[in-house]
Structure 1
Amino acid sequence: MPVPPKPIPPLYTVYILRSTVNHSSLYIGSTPNPPRRLKQHNGEAKGGAARTSRRQFRPWEMVGLVSGFPGMVAALKFEWALNNPHVSLHIPANSRITVATQRKRNGQPRRPRHSIKSIISNVHLLLRVPSFARWPLTVHFFAPEIYRAWITYCDTATEPLRETIPVCTNFPPSSADEGTSTDEPSPWGIHALPLDYAPMKEYVEKTRSLYSFEREGECVICGERLEHGEGLYATCSNSLCEGTGHISCWSRHLLGSNPGEDIIPISGHCPKCEGKVTWGDMMKEMSLRIRGQKEVEKMFKKRRKRKASVTTESP
């Protein structure tokens, strides 16, 4: 029985793990749920990896990750390439930063040992190669020294990173901040990442109303009437705009004057409201609308209030 197609997941990441006991011990993995995965690596939940199970290296911490992968397979491709940059076919041979100097018994190149510098340089490289350069990815750092290493490498890199790739930081609060605040500490690092579709609720609510009442109107790019249920349509992600159009028209519009050079758009401006739109956000909403009915229903399901228990006192 074929597996029904699923919507683009709310989060899928490739992460960098570092031992808090020995900072030279590093691990690269992928997951849709970084907090849960970190618990597994630290033995607080079932699962994890054999390479992170040794007690002398625990606890581990996630010091950085790349998010925005459209699914598990996409994340696994990036993870494998980052773990094996010396042989990955995603990296042209003349662009390799990491080169194997030893071989295994079977004659295959032995993977060089990871370092923060090698991982950061190869993340930068993979975000530039044709296989991943136009994906809607975001880079996150959760340790100041790792972010400084990233900035240092970016300043010396021979080729710049695409400007539309966001680089976010979320460091642990300082002891001074913790001592002066009386409020509950805000989640930081991987615990501040959205694990569900909640950030898209307003966007989905708008398109839910638009498509349910057949208010698609005319394509904002070509002007043709959009017949309900007879095509793939995308809607502007800006809150006050309902500009809707054919997927093919949006693609041509966002690719601009060089549609033949690239296949996947990145971002641009809505022709109706002139606000910025991102192709990845629009595709995530469309996939959720078409393939994620259960996820949408869960998003708008009202939580039942628990009834207060009534206790009776004996005379």
Structure 2
Amino acid sequence: MSQNLQYPPRFYCVYLLRSIAKTNSFYIGSTPDPYRRLRQHNGELAAGGADRTKKNGFRPWQMTLVVYGFPSKISALQFEHAWHHAYQTRHIPDKKRIGTKSSSRSVHIKIANLKLLLSAQAFGRMGLRVAIFQKAIYDIWVMNRYNVAVAESVHLKLDFEESQQKLIEGGNYDQIKTFVKSLEKEEDDYFEKSLEELEQNEARECCVCHTVVDQFQDVLGFCASKDCHTLYHVQCWAEEMTKGLVSEPLSDSVLPLTPVKGKCVKCLKVNWWWPVVKNSMRLHRHFTEIGRSCIEN
């Protein structure tokens, strides 16, 4: 089971740029490094960028929104492509489609189609998250001109840029860098907590199947609650969370029956599934490297 695991990227997002000079101009892209990518779009780095964002009079650009939590680069690129081509993508049914190719420049339509994609069958079970960095974009999200319901699984994070002078001078670089670093710290804290919990757990039994776990072979899951010490086999926890759910065929990027969130068996606090899995994959890679090192030495 553990030999063919695909480790997720540390971070990969789909983003929405807005021209500070021409506020009705937007650009959709994807990247594992939004800080570097924004600098490319604004011409601060010679290599990279996109032809459309290089046009005279459009720079500087601000990164106003990012969608993140993708299990792979491929799934992020699929989402980016679908958002670019929302007027024809298979991920939005014809009866729900909003806008045409010529009208898709409207930011109200872009946000409406974003909401539709977040609820789409292929992406809805990924537990994707959205961070909004500009209040004007958040106001459009809340206004919801096309009355698109947002999936309950979507976690919204707000982080507005207070200094407009920074936006006049250039992109919101510090804001993006701080945002990514905060996510990395959350993941690092969760990882360190999991290592500590495993070390202190003498029984080392899965809370569901009650068999002893093997950190070098099994994929382990830990409750994210700071005060909970519960240990699982990830597969056991997934099966516990999805009891009673009807399996539906999803995209190749998602297992046929993947939880979005569920409660810890012991503390009953809700855990979002994607952070659990991402942490589990990091733990698996950590112990795999330790095991490989022991064999080589």
| 8 Å contact from structure 1 (residues 142, 172) kept in 2 | yes
Q: How does 1:38-53 map to 2 (within 5 A)?
A: 38-45=38-45, 46-53=47-54
Q: Which residue of 1 aligns with 2:141?
A: 150
Change (3 A) 1:72 1:237: same
1:133-191 CA-to-partner distances (Å, cap 9, x unmatched) read 1112111211111111110117x52x52122311121112258xxxxxxxxxxx86423
Tell me if structure 1 keeps the 8 A contact 2:26–2:105. Answer: yes
Poorly superposed stretches of 4+, deviation over 6 Å: 293-296
State the partner residue of 1:91. Answer: 92
1:168 and 1:202 mapped to 2: Cα distance?
19
Identity %: 32
> Cα distance, 1:63 vs. partner?
1.4
Match of 1:243 among 230, 241, 249: 230
- The Cα shift of 1:228 comes to 4.9
In the alignment, structure 1 residue 160 sits paired with structure 2 residue 149: yes
- Alpha carbons 2:219, 2:284 under 8 Å: kept: no
Provide the residue aligned with 2:169 in structure 1. Answer: none
* Mapping 1:1-315, distance limit 5 Å: 7-45=7-45, 46-100=47-101, 112-153=103-144, 157=147, 160-173=149-162, 189-195=175-181, 197-211=184-198, 215=202, 217-260=204-247, 263-291=257-285
CA–CA distance in structure 2, aligned partners of residues 22 and 294 of structure 1:
50
Distance 1:189 1:47 in 2: 21
Q: Which has the larger radius of gyration?
A: 1
1:270, 1:224 → 2: CA distance? 17
TM-score using structure 1 length: 0.76
Task: Spell out, residue by residue over 1:204-246, the C-alpha distance to the aligned partner (whole angstroms, 9 max, x if none).
Answer: 1232245568846222123233345343221212223221122
Contact persistence 1:269–1:276 (CA under 8 A): yes
Contact 2:209 2:236 in 1 (8 A): yes
Distance 1:292 1:122 in 2: 39
Aligned length: 271
Aligned to 2:167: none
Does the C-alpha gap of structure 1 residues 227 and 239 become closer, same or farther in structure 2, counting only changes over 3 Å? same
Distance 1:276-1:113 versus aligned 2 partners, 3 A rule: closer
- For residues 139 and 174 of structure 2, the distance between their equivalents in structure 1, rounded to whole angstroms, comes to 18
**Secondary structure of 1:17's match?**
strand
1:153 counterpart letter in structure 2? N
1:259 Cα deviation (Å)?
5.0
1:127: how far off?
0.8
Q: 1:197 offset after TM fit, Å?
A: 3.2
Any gaps of 5 or more consecutive residues in structure 1? 101-110, 176-186, 297-315
Instruction: Work out the CA distance in 1 between the residues paired with 2:220 and 2:5.
Output: 18
Q: Which letter maps to 1:166?
A: H
Secondary structure of 2:193's counterpart equals: helix
Q: Tell me: CA distance 1:294–1:31, structure 2 relative to 1, closer, same or farther (3 Å).
A: farther
Partner of 1:307: none
C-alpha contact (below 8 Å) 2:87/2:104 kept by paired residues: no
Question: SS where residue 43 of structure 1 aligns?
Answer: coil
Q: CA deviation at 1:295?
A: 11
* CA–CA separation in structure 2 for the residues paired with 1:88 and 1:193: 30
- Alpha carbons of structure 1 residues 40 and 16: separation in structure 2 relative to 1, 3 Å: same
- 8 Å CA contact 2:221, 2:280 repeated in 1: yes
Q: Give the TM-score of the pair, scaled to structure 2.
A: 0.81
Residues 172 and 61 from structure 1, CA distance in 2 versus in 1: closer, same or farther, beyond 3 angstroms?
A: same
